């Protein structure tokens, strides 16, 4: 059964049709790639999936825990629905430490009230300790444990991307959206990241949708790829199928 | 050289007097003016041999036109500087805020300009033992002007324009209205402005539409000058009445002589007065500060002499004795009039009504309390 | 990580010991009324600065209207204790409640306004509160509210300050506080991580106002006289100056800032004519040489100390 | 043409560049590659005068650049496409390009160059009047390069021009870089995409932890086993 | 009883001509007050637009401008226009100096630190000035013809001086708008305002651009000081506080950073205050003005002319 259904989704800004009439259905447990030329509407599509924009027409339906439609999307409700994301332009809390960035990911999984936080009742300690321990584990996975107290802004780009992914994982999503996770990484780092993403998917039992321009990453781990151009879907299929699609080569990959 | 410090402590002591005035902040003008007056008088007193054979030493502190700071300064003067009395503050509010520290430390606090009725008396009608004032209470000026307008000028339809940030202005207006209506006059409208406003045309246009024959505008010369000027520009040429806040050469400068025709106000004295003390004061003031004195300068000047007089009568520079001497003041003669202190620590003093003629405030009438 | 760890117990003892020693000095008159008055002022300023820090320093909501919350608290306490003859604790509770209610109201524009626009809206709110005060005869209007009983004692003052500092620092070190800080850093990212920014912004204003209201109550029942224009725009600026001077997002900084600025102000009393000129120069020099404030999170070392959660995690 | 001698740059306590020596000859494409945080961006920012070196010298045609402001350095013919695009977000695409020609006064020539940029990046022509801030990431990158070209630089500093771009555009951009170079512009290229960078460059420097680690002919480095393992993804 | 009296009054004096006239007069009052806010707001908004600094000292530069005008006309007997020009020049110089000494060192600090610096400059100017000239009010000599003209042959009048102010405000607005959008200096200002590093990489001299900004902004404040000083004819060291705040509010209402917005906001604020007074609310004039401000912002969070550009994520 598909966990995401996108029905005839469109979004325009003034005259620009950033996303237009997209239909797709995605099954759980996969890594899905979204590629397409610059300005094709990929990021906009993510923003529609996470409630940052509301569709001009059409609808997104999640079936992660329970069924929710994009009509009730609000950015802050998405983690509650099981959806977490990273941003194309890294959006870390720059003046917070790495560990605090990750701890923030646990926001929706904390369960103590205002009084507990003011008076430090036992539930405060219980929740915070648990979150803290889990956060440490996440940082360990990303090899960032020794930097846990550094300010996010002091980290190099590549590591900031990792922190962003760790923060998203902390929200315990079922669906993880990554917007160009390998941007600004050299081929070597990209290779590491590819392995990591694959591992994360299995470890956390996630569905991952990622936007990426680095074909080595896309071809390496995606089981299915959707290709956007001018807001529409021009192709979809396995990486191989897509790679050999005439239209895709012409619009996106470029010939040799 | 070793012994200088010893010698220094043996020189004849001075008598310390604290000044708790608004030298910065919103009402710095008034605080600074009062301070100038006090300083001139103290200079004269010291030149003439001081008080009780000692020189007066002023400890001047700024209360920033702020309640808490006024209390703070008051406490500092009483406990740290050990002054025999505190002069100030300029406004009623700051004086009230300064008074608990004065009472607590038993140091008299004397204001020359805190006109509110409840400065010296608390809400239960009990007098505040160490607090005195030397200026009229609001009720007095408001009532006097209402009587004068209704009976002497024969004006029946008043419009009132009040500074709603100023307790002084509100106090005068309230008493004026009560008396004026009691006498049978009509208060057609009451409008408000805020201190530091510069444009009054909207309210004046409203007032004009009501066709009053007199405007009562209790306030200070800075605003009143502009109000009168703008009223005339709008063709509102009726009589304007006010209080001692008008007394300043600036009023003429701002409004211009022509606009000031038909302006009357209550005051402590007439600066056109030819009484020798007044002339002497005006000349001395002009010599020291190269400008003409206004009411605040004169009140500050008198305040210092008032204190000196009480100190002499107390016989020693002791604040408790001084308090008693202040309370029993009877017929102190200052340039702003002769005053006695009543049981509520308020002054009993005559009020003068002045009329502005060709820009000059001219003596019209004096009313004994 | 427990409530009864060594550090917490030591802090608790320190709090009591400071209380007892200072109390002793005050009762014996060693600390005279002048010093005590300044201690009261410092205490009130600490509460104001720490509570504004929650709104502006931590949550990043630029407020120029903090004095309004204080004034609502002060008048509420004034009315309750002077006019209705209620005991002080009711005055304080009423002050805190009314002020936090105002906090909810002013919190609402924050849902739509950002940065300087929010600042000017809060400033406008504070002016409105002031003008309503000026025109309300029941509380004396421009004449002010007089003869408020002097209930603010060392005990009340001290424990109100301690409670404010404790609650606000507990709050910012909880996940709710972390959410507030995140909003200050990047609202969109915070939202994406599940933070209901609307709720937390209003919460920050409400909590901040709650404590500012308490500061108002202490003020009213110490200075015995209230006037609406004591709580004008400049008062709000004064509080903001303490916060920035101490360091945005640093509670210790706010405390240090309140103390230092009060002491500076005392020294400046001695030079009345140049007081404000010198004060402005001092402000300027500090902003140039330490723009992040005396305890600002300028560098890594400071941040580690401030580390939002780490403080107690390290002690576990 | 450009020579960095023993350059040391600090951010507060962080020692970002350590004794960096680097040389670019007239007409070359030189590439600077290295891991995240190695100091590539810092090198470029120091050349263009936004950061100031603590010690060391930058010589441009034999002339020391240290005392010049960033704006003056542009006038000397060094143009910098910064990391992260940095387009003027609430100016239109067209106005952004105009800003690129800020130091120039030859109106007709500017017009020609504008047309040239539009033919290089047709997408920019389509979006001519849109606010630059609402462009997609790739569109912004095109705009940033186009903007730099309009200052008619003698030396062009490019900071990760391929970041976030579609493969087809990346190819195009590298082709354009070569084109620009052929037309006489010397180029210093900072890239993560080391494969492509080395293919198009004459010489290369590899920077590691703020120090120049390896330098040499681009073709040689491409075949170097160490380099391959560390930077080219094996 | 009140109602009855009111009714009686109304029916006796019922005269549409009177009412109309009153309304016209209030409208004129609103425009004239608004023009003053607008004039001061222009410089405020321009400096804000370029360097995103709430220049709290703007009102105080306006005050200094007024004092320069006062000194020139009173002691040196300079005429109105020369005084205006000299005051603008000196204020421009002062503005540049303030920027170099005070704001430049905090350019890379947080905006709030810059704000506190601006407040310190403001206090310094106010109390430095007060130290030298004392707190008392000074009065300008009559420089401009003190003449009222009647509007549409009614008793409603307009002060000639107001025409000057309105004229100067509108022309300055147009000039500024031209400078910012059409000239090279203006373009460099906008570039600096958007991204300082990138602007420098275009060859823009950032320091020079910021200096120009302050020079122009402060010259505008100086002009306002002289004009408004002669209009109300009384000045004092704290005269800049309230108009500075009001001008800031006006600029925000219009959309801070937007030149025509400042003028619109100024007129809007002046008109609001006047109309509140006109309809009997003088006690609450400022409160209503601020309430309107908040309502405007709630409806248009970036001011009347501000465009709501959502951050692209
Ligand atoms: N807020 C907005 N206002 C106006 N236009 C927008 C806005 N957001 C996006 N667009 C336009 O919509 C189109 C799609 O943008 P989007 O960011 O989704 O592209 P993308 O596929 O993510 O490209 P890239 O790979 O370069 O990041 C672009 O042409 C962009 O200019
Ligand atoms: N403004 C700054 N303040 C403090 N440290 C900085 C600053 N900019 C860079 N650094 C530090 O200087 C070092 C070099 O950074 P630089 O940006 O030059 O690296 P880079 O090679 O361009 O990396 P990337 O590939 O991620 O762009 C890094 O450790 C970085 O954290
Ligand atoms: Mg994108
Ligand atoms: Mg870089």
pLDDT tens, position by position, C21-36? 988 888 888 888 899 9
* A22 Cα: distance to centroid of ligand 1 (angstroms): 16
Smallest Cβ–Cβ distance between B32 and the set E134, E274, E282 belongs to E134
Digit-coded pLDDT (tens) for C92-147: 999 999 999 999 988 887 778 888 888 889 999 999 999 999 999 899 888 889 88
The pLDDT confidence band at residue A163, using thresholds 50, 70 and 90, is very high
Digit-coded pLDDT (tens) for A25-37: 998 889 999 999 8
Burial environment of residue B308 by CB neighbours within 10 A (0 to 12, 13 to 18, 19 or more): buried
Chains near B (3 or more Cβ pairs under 8 Å): C, E
Ligand 1, atom nearest to A36 Cα: 21
CATH assignment of the domain containing D148: 3.40.50.300
What residue in E sits closest to A89 (Cα-Cα)?
A: E313
β-strands B186-193, B157-163: how paired?
parallel
The pLDDT confidence band at residue A121, using thresholds 50, 70 and 90, is confident
Residue that the structure tokens 């709090």 belong to? C15
d(CA B79, CA A35): 79
Return the closest-CA partner of residue A83 out of A92, A96, A74: A74
Consecutive H or E run containing A24: strand A16-27
Q: Which amino acid residue places its CA nearest to atom 17 of ligand 1?
A: D136
Return the closest-CA partner of residue C155 out of C94, C218, C97: C218
* A88 Cα: distance to centroid of ligand 4 (angstroms): 16
β-strands D29-34, D14-24: how paired?
unpaired
pLDDT, tens digit only, all 234 positions of chain D: 899 999 999 988 889 999 999 999 999 999 999 887 889 999 999 999 988 899 999 999 988 888 888 889 999 999 999 987 889 988 999 999 999 999 888 889 999 999 988 988 888 999 999 999 888 777 888 899 899 989 889 999 999 888 878 888 888 888 888 988 998 899 999 998 888 899 999 999 999 989 999 999 999 988 888 888 887 776
CATH assignment of the domain containing A182: 3.40.50.300
**How many of the other CB atoms lie within 10 Å of CB of B154?**
9
Average confidence score pLDDT of chain A = 90
pLDDT at A153 over 80: yes
Q: Is the CB of A94 under 6 A from ligand 2?
A: no
B49-58, C77-86, C183-192, E146-155: lowest mean pLDDT where?
E146-155
Q: CA E236 from chain center: how many Å?
A: 17
Asked if residue A196 is part of any domain, the answer here is: yes
Q: Is the CB of D14 under 6 A from ligand 2?
A: yes
Do E304 and E265 contact (CB within 8 A), yes or no? yes
Instruction: Please indicate whether residue C61 or residue E17 has the higher confidence score (pLDDT).
Output: C61
Domain span at residue D47?
2-231
* A182 Cα: distance to centroid of ligand 4 (angstroms): 14
What residue in C sits closest to A169 (Cα-Cα)?
A: C193
Domain span at residue A158?
92-172
Digit-coded pLDDT (tens) for D98-152: 999 998 888 899 999 999 889 888 889 999 999 998 887 778 888 998 999 898 8
Return the closest-CA partner of residue C145 out of C82, C193, C68: C82
Residue from A40, A48, A182 whose mutation best tests the ligand 1 pocket (most atoms within 8 A of CB): A40
Return the closest-CA partner of residue D9 out of D35, D48, D62, D36: D48
d(CA A175, CA E182): 50
**How many of the other CB atoms lie within 10 Å of CB of E212?**
20
In this structure, are A78 and A13 located in the same domain? Answer: yes
Return the closest-CA partner of residue B85 out of B53, B111, B46, B52: B111
Q: Work out the angle at residue E263's Cα, subtended by the Cα atoms of residues E258 and E267, and round it to the nearest 5 degrees.
A: 140
| A91/chain C closest Cα distance in angstroms | 6
Ligand 2, atom nearest to D83 Cα: 27
The pLDDT confidence band at residue C303, using thresholds 50, 70 and 90, is very low
For position E142, what pLDDT does the model report? Answer: 80
Burial environment of residue E259 by CB neighbours within 10 A (0 to 12, 13 to 18, 19 or more): buried
Digit-coded pLDDT (tens) for C63-95: 999 999 999 999 999 999 999 999 999 999 999
d(CA D196, CA D181): 16
Residue after which a domain boundary falls, among A144, A172, A200: A172
Residue after which a domain boundary falls, among A151, A172, A193: A172
Q: Work out the angle at residue A217's Cα, subtended by the Cα atoms of residues A215 and A223, and round it to the nearest 5 degrees.
A: 95
Residue numbers of chain E with a pLDDT score lower than 70: 1-17, 309-312
Strands (E), A93-251: 175-179, 207-211, 224-229, 232-237
For position E5, what pLDDT does the model report? Answer: 45
Return the closest-CA partner of residue C128 out of E276, B71, A44, E310: E276
Do C237 and E84 contact (CB within 8 A), yes or no? no
Residues 6+ positions from D120 with CB-CB distance below 8 Å = D146, D149, D176
| A53/chain D closest Cα distance in angstroms | 14
Do E222 and E40 contact (CB within 8 A), yes or no? no
Phi, psi dihedrals of residue D34, rounded to the nearest 5° = 170, 165
Phi, psi dihedrals of residue D212, rounded to the nearest 5° = -75, 120
Asked if residue A87 is part of any domain, the answer here is: no
pLDDT at C315 over 50: no
3-state secondary structure of D33: strand
* DSSP state at residue A108: G
What residue in E sits closest to C109 (Cα-Cα)?
A: E298
What residue in E sits closest to D148 (Cα-Cα)?
A: E202
Do C70 and C160 contact (CB within 8 A), yes or no? no
CA distances from E50 to A22, B144, E22, E111, E312 (A): 42, 58, 42, 13, 22
Show residues of chain D in contact with E191, CB under 8 Å: 88, 91, 99, 102
So where are chain C's domains?
A: 32-233
Size of interface B-E (CB pairs under 8 A): 92
Asked if residue A198 is part of any domain, the answer here is: yes
Residue after which a domain boundary falls, among A117, A151, A172: A172
In this structure, are A198 and A125 located in the same domain? Answer: no
So where are chain E's domains?
A: 42-262
Q: Which residues on adjacent β-strands are paired with residue B363?
A: B354
Residues 6+ positions from B232 with CB-CB distance below 8 Å = B255, B258, B259
Digit-coded pLDDT (tens) for C231-271: 998 899 999 999 999 988 899 999 999 999 999 998 888 88
| Partner-chain contact C146 B118, CB within 8 Å | yes
3-state secondary structure of C167: helix
Please name the residue ranges forming H helices in C136-230: 154-172, 175-185, 187-192, 197-223
Q: What ipTM did this prediction achieve?
A: 0.90
Do A10 and A22 contact (CB within 8 A), yes or no? yes
Show residues of chain A in contact with C179, CB under 8 Å: 104, 107
* A75 Cα: distance to centroid of ligand 1 (angstroms): 19
């Amino acid at each position: 059964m598909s966990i995401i259904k996108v029905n005839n989704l469109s979004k325009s800004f003034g005259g620009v049709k950033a996303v237009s009439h997209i239909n797709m259905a995605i099954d759980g447990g996969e890594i899905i790639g979204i590629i397409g030329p610059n300005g094709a509407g990929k990021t906009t599509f993510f923003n529609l999936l996470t409630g940052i924009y509301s569709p001009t027409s059409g609808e997104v339906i999640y079936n992660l825990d329970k069924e929710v439609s994009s009509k009730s999307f609000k950015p802050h409700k998405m983690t509650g629905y099981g959806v977490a994301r990273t941003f194309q332009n890294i959006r870390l809390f720059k003046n917070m430490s790495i560990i605090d960035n990750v701890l923030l990911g646990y926001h929706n999984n904390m369960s103590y009230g205002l009084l507990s936080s003011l008076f430090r009742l036992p539930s405060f300690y219980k929740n915070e300790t648990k979150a803290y321990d889990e956060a440490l584990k996440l940082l360990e996975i990303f090899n960032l444990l020794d930097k846990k107290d550094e300010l996010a802004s002091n980290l190099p780009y590549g590591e900031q991307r990792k922190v962003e992914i760790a923060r998203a994982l902390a929200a315990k999503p079922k669906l993880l959206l990554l917007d160009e996770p390998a941007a600004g990484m050299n081929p070597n780092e990209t290779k590491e990241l590819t392995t990591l993403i694959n591992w994360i998917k299995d470890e956390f039992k996630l569905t991952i949708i990622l936007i990426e321009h680095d074909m080595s990453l896309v071809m390496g781990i995606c089981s299915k790829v959707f290709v956007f151009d001018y807001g529409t879907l021009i192709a979809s299929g396995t990486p191989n199928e897509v790679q050999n699609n005439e239209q895709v080569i012409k619009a996106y990959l470029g010939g040799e | 050289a070793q012994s200088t410090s010893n010698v220094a402590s043996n020189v004849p002591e001075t008598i310390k007097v604290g000044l708790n005035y608004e030298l910065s902040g919103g009402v710095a003008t008034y605080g600074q003016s009062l301070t100038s007056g006090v300083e001139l008088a103290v200079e004269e007193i010291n030149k003439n041999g001081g008080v009780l054979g000692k020189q007066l030493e002023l400890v001047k502190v700024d209360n920033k036109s702020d309640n808490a700071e006024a209390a703070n300064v008051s406490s500092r003067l009483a406990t740290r500087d050990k002054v025999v009395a505190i002069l100030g503050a300029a406004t009623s509010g700051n004086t009230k805020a300064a008074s608990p520290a004065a009472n607590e430390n038993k140091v008299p606090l004397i204001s020359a300009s805190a006109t509110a009725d409840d400065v010296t008396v608390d809400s239960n009608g009990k007098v505040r033992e160490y607090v005195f004032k030397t200026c009229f209470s609001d009720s007095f000026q408001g009532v006097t002007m209402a009587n004068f307008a209704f009976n002497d000028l024969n004006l029946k339809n008043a419009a009132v324009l009040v500074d709603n940030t100023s307790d002084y202005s509100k106090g005068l207006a309230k008493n004026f209205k009560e008396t004026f209506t009691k006498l049978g006059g009509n208060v057609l409208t009451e409008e408000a402005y805020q201190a530091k406003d510069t444009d009054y045309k909207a309210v004046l246009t409203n007032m004009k539409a009501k066709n009053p024959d007199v405007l009562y505008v209790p306030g200070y010369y800075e605003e009143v000058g502009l109000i009168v000027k703008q009223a005339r520009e709008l063709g509102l040429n009726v009589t304007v009445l006010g209080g001692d806040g008008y007394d300043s050469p600036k009023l003429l400068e701002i409004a211009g002589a022509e606009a000031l025709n038909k302006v009357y106000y209550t005051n402590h004295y007439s600066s056109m007065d030819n009484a020798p003390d007044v002339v002497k004061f005006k000349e001395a003031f002009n010599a020291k500060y190269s400008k003409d004195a206004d009411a605040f300068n004169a009140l500050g000047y008198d305040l210092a002499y008032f204190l000196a007089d009480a100190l002499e009568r107390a016989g020693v520079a002791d604040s408790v004795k001084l308090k008693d001497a202040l309370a029993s003041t009877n017929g102190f003669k200052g340039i702003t009039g002769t005053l006695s202190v009543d049981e509520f620590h308020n002054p009993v003093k005559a009020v003068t009504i002045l009329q502005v003629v060709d820009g000059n405030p001219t003596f019209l009438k004096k009313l004994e309390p | 990580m427990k409530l009864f760890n060594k550090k917490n117990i030591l802090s608790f003892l320190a709090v009591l010991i400071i209380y007892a020693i200072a109390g002793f000095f005050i009762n014996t008159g060693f600390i005279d009324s002048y010093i005590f008055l300044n201690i009261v002022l410092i205490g009130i300023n600490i509460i104001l600065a720490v509570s504004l820090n929650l709104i502006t320093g931590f949550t990043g909501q630029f407020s120029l209207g903090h004095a309004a919350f204080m004034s609502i608290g002060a008048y509420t306490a004034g009315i309750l204790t002077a006019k209705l003859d209620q005991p002080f604790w009711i005055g304080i509770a009423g002050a805190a409640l009314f002020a936090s209610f105002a906090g909810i109201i002013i919190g609402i524009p924050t849902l739509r306004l950002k940065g300087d626009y929010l600042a000017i809206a809060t400033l406008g709110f504070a002016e409105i509160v002031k003008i309503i005060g000026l025109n309300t005869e029941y509380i004396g209007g421009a004449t002010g509210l007089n003869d408020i009983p002097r209930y603010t004692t060392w005990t009340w003052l001290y424990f109100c300050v301690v409670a404010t500092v404790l609650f606000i620092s507990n709050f910012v070190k909880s996940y709710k506080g972390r959410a507030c800080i995140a909003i200050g850093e990047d609202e969109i990212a915070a939202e994406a991580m599940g933070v209901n920014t609307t709720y937390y912004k209003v919460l920050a204003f409400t909590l901040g106002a709650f404590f500012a209201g308490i500061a108002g109550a202490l003020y009213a029942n110490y200075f015995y006289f209230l006037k609406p224009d004591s709580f004008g725009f400049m008062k709000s600026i004064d509080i903001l100056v303490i916060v920035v001077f101490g360091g945005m997002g640093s509670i210790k900084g706010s405390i240090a800032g309140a103390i230092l600025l009060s002491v500076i102000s005392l020294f400046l009393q001695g030079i009345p004519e140049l007081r404000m000129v010198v004060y402005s120069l001092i402000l300027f020099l500090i902003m140039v040489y330490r723009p992040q404030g005396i305890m600002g999170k300028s560098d890594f070392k400071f941040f580690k100390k401030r580390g939002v959660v780490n403080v107690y995690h390290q002690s576990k | 043409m450009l020579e960095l001698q023993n350059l040391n740059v600090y951010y507060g306590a962080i020692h970002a560049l350590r004794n960096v020596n680097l040389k670019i000859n007239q007409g070359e494409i030189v590439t600077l590659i290295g891991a995240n945080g190695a100091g590539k961006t810092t090198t470029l920012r120091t050349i263009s005068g936004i950061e100031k070196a603590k010690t060391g010298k930058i010589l441009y045609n034999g002339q020391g650049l240290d005392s010049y402001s960033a704006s003056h350095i542009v006038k000397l013919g060094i143009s910098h496409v910064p990391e992260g695009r940095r387009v003027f977000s609430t100016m239109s695409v067209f106005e952004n390009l105009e800003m690129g020609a800020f130091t120039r006064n030859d109106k007709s020539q500017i017009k020609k160059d504008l047309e040239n940029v539009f033919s290089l990046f047709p997408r920019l022509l389509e979006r001519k009047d849109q606010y630059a801030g609402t462009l997609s990431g790739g569109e912004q990158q095109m705009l940033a390069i186009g903007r730099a070209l309009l200052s008619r630089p003698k030396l062009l500093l490019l900071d990760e021009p391929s970041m976030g771009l579609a493969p087809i555009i990346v190819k195009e951009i590298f082709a354009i870089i070569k084109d620009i170079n052929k037309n006489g512009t010397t180029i210093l290229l900072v890239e993560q995409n080391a494969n492509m960078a080395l293919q198009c460059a004459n010489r290369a420097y590899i920077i590691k932890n703020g120090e120049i680690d390896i330098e040499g002919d681009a073709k040689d480095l491409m075949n170097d086993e160490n380099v391959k393992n560390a930077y080219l993804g094996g | 009883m009140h109602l009855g009296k009111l009714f009686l009054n109304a029916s006796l004096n019922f005269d549409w001509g009177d009412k109309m006239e009153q309304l016209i007069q209030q409208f004129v009052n609103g425009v004239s007050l608004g023009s003053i806010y607008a004039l001061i707001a222009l410089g405020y908004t321009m400096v804000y637009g370029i360097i995103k600094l709430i220049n709290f000292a703007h009102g105080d530069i306006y005050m200094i401008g007024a004092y320069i005008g006062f000194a020139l006309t009173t002691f040196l007997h300079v005429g109105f226009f020369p005084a205006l020009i000299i005051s603008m020049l000196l204020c421009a110089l002062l503005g540049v100096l303030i920027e170099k000494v005070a704001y430049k060192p905090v350019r890379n600090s947080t905006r709030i630190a810059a704000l506190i610096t601006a407040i310190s400059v403001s206090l310094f100017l106010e109390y430095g000035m007060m130290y030298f000239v004392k707190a008392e009010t000074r009065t300008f000599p009559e420089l401009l013809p003190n003449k009222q003209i009647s509007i549409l042959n009614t008793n409603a009048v307009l002060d000639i001086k107001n025409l000057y102010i309105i004229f100067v405000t509108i022309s300055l607005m147009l000039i500024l708008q031209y400078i910012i959008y059409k000239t090279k200096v203006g373009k460099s200002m906008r570039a600096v305002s958007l991204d300082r590093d990138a602007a420098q990489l275009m060859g823009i001299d950032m320091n020079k651009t910021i200096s120009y900004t302050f020079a122009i902004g402060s010259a505008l404040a100086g002009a306002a000081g002289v004009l408004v000083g002669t209009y109300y004819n009384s000045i004092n060291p704290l005269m800049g506080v309230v108009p500075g705040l009001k001008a800031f509010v006006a600029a925000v209402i219009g959309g801070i950073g937007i030149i025509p917005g400042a003028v619109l906001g100024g007129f809007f604020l002046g008109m609001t205050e006047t109309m509140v007074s006109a309809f009997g609310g003088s006690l609450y004039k400022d409160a209503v003005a601020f309430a309107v401000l908040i309502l405007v912002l709630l409806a248009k969070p970036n001011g009347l002319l501000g465009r709501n550009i959502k951050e692209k994520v």
